[in-house]
Amino acid sequence: MKIIAKFEQFHLQARQNIWIGYFAIFCRIALAAGFLPSGFVKINGERFTALANNHPMGHYLDALFYTGYYYPFIGVMQMLAAILLLIPRTATLGALIYFPIILNITVLSLAVRFDGSLFTSPLMLTAVIFLLGWDYHKLKYLLPLKQNNTEILLPLQSKNNKFPFVFFGSVFIYMISFVLFITNIYSIMPRNTLAECARQCDKTKHPEACISFCECIHKKGNSLQECLKTYKKDGL
């Protein structure tokens, strides 16, 4: 397929650029730094955050904390993925382990509108996807694609020292667009505390309904979906 051929050519050019290579190293270190502390907390048997149980994420984390050995198991996998990412030879395996974990955290964060990882988890997910693309020459043989048996795993060619302005410009534009998108995707959020939740009410069209929503979350401990329904009903 022409699309695959073009992607493979782009991949080869990217692998030859030292600046994109440095960016891949940065992503590996940053991702490892994100999982090592959280994984250690779980292995140590400590609750991950001090978030109130009434909060939608608090419900989840409290239940997760009391799942027995499953809770430290997640921590072990997080630390394993982080350590493997730091070792060049095992970085691909680390990214493969990292991907489903951060994907779950991203979906969870978006589902409950959790401030703590609403921005970071999608960006971490994007970084992992980049690393998987960076190692496409290894992972391609796991995909149901027609392979050329005579193709070298990654042809050895001279390194390119030219700074990739287009690549890093695209990364910058993506991050700005992402921040704007996340900032405006939700009309109301539970925030982490009742006081923080109430601060946003002055900016909403229906302040009283917003206050009721915050109390529904932080005082009554109802589900996010139930409180959103009440908020929309009161806002009519």
Do 41 and 132 share a structural domain? yes
Check residue 138 and give its pLDDT.
Answer: 87
Q: Do residues 127 and 203 both lie within one domain? A: no
Same domain? 196 vs 181: no
Q: Is residue 86 one of the residues assigned to a domain?
A: yes
- pLDDT for 228 beyond 50: yes
Q: What pLDDT was estimated at residue 150?
A: 38
Band (154; pLDDT cuts 50, 70, 90): low
Contact 230, 216 (CB under 8 A): yes
Q: Tell me the per-residue pLDDT of 37-46, one tens digit each, with 9 for 90 and over.
A: 999 999 999 8
Asked if 202 and 172 sit in the same domain, the reply is: no
Domain around 205: 187-236
Q: Is the pLDDT of residue 151 over 60?
A: no
Looking at the structure, tell me whether residues 214 and 97 fall in a common domain.
no
Highest average pLDDT, of 27-31, 161-165, 218-222, 232-236, comes from 27-31
- pLDDT of amino acid 204: 84
Which amino acid would we find at residue 141? Y
Dist CA 154 CA 15 (whole Å):
9
Cα separation, 78 vs 84, whole angstroms = 10
State the DSSP string of the chain.
-HHHHHHHHHHHHHHTBHHHHHHHHHHHHHHHHHHHHHHHHHHTT--S----TTSHHHHHHHHHHTSTTHHHHHHHHHHHHHHHHHSGGGHHHHHHHHHHHHHHHHHHHHHHT-HHHHTHHHHHHHHHHHHHHHTHHHHGGGSSS---TT--SS-----B-S--HHHHHHHHHHHHHHHHHHHHH-S----SSHHHHHHGGGGSS-HHHHHHHHHHHHTT---HHHHHHHHHHHT-
User: Which two three-digit tokens encode residue 54?
Assistant: 């009434």
Is residue 160, in this structure, part of any structural domain at all? no
* Residue 158 domain flag: no
Query: Looking at the structure, do residues 53 and 119 belong to the same domain, yes or no?
Result: yes
Mark whether 19 and 103 lie in a shared domain.
yes
pLDDT on residue 135: 93
Tell me whether residue 157 is in a domain.
no
pTM equals 0.89
DSSP class of residue 17 equals B
Reading the block at residue 179, the tokens are: 């921040």
Q: Which is more confident, 205 or 94?
A: 94
Q: Is residue 127 included in any domain, yes or no?
A: yes
Question: Does residue 94 share a domain with residue 137?
Answer: yes
Per-residue pLDDT reduced to its tens digit, 173-201: 999 999 999 988 998 999 999 999 999 99
Strand partners, 160: 17
Q: Clarify whether residues 16 and 133 are in a common domain.
A: yes
Q: Annotate 56-68 with DSSP letters as a single string.
A: HHHHHHHHHHTST
45 and 112 part of one domain: yes
Grade residue 133 by pLDDT with cuts at 50, 70 and 90.
very high
Among 66, 31, 33, CA closest to 48: 66
Residue 83 belongs to a domain: yes
Evaluate if residue 32 carries a pLDDT over 90: yes
- pLDDT of 17: 92
Tell me, yes or no, whether 127 and 206 share the same domain: no
Are residue 179 and residue 235 in the same domain, yes or no? no
Does some domain include residue 6?
yes
As given in the structure block, the two tokens for residue 123 are 């960006």
Whether 161 maps to a domain, the answer reads no
Yes or no: say if 94 and 39 are a contact pair by the CB < 8 Å rule: no
d(CA 98, CA 100): 6
Q: Total structural domains in the chain?
A: 2
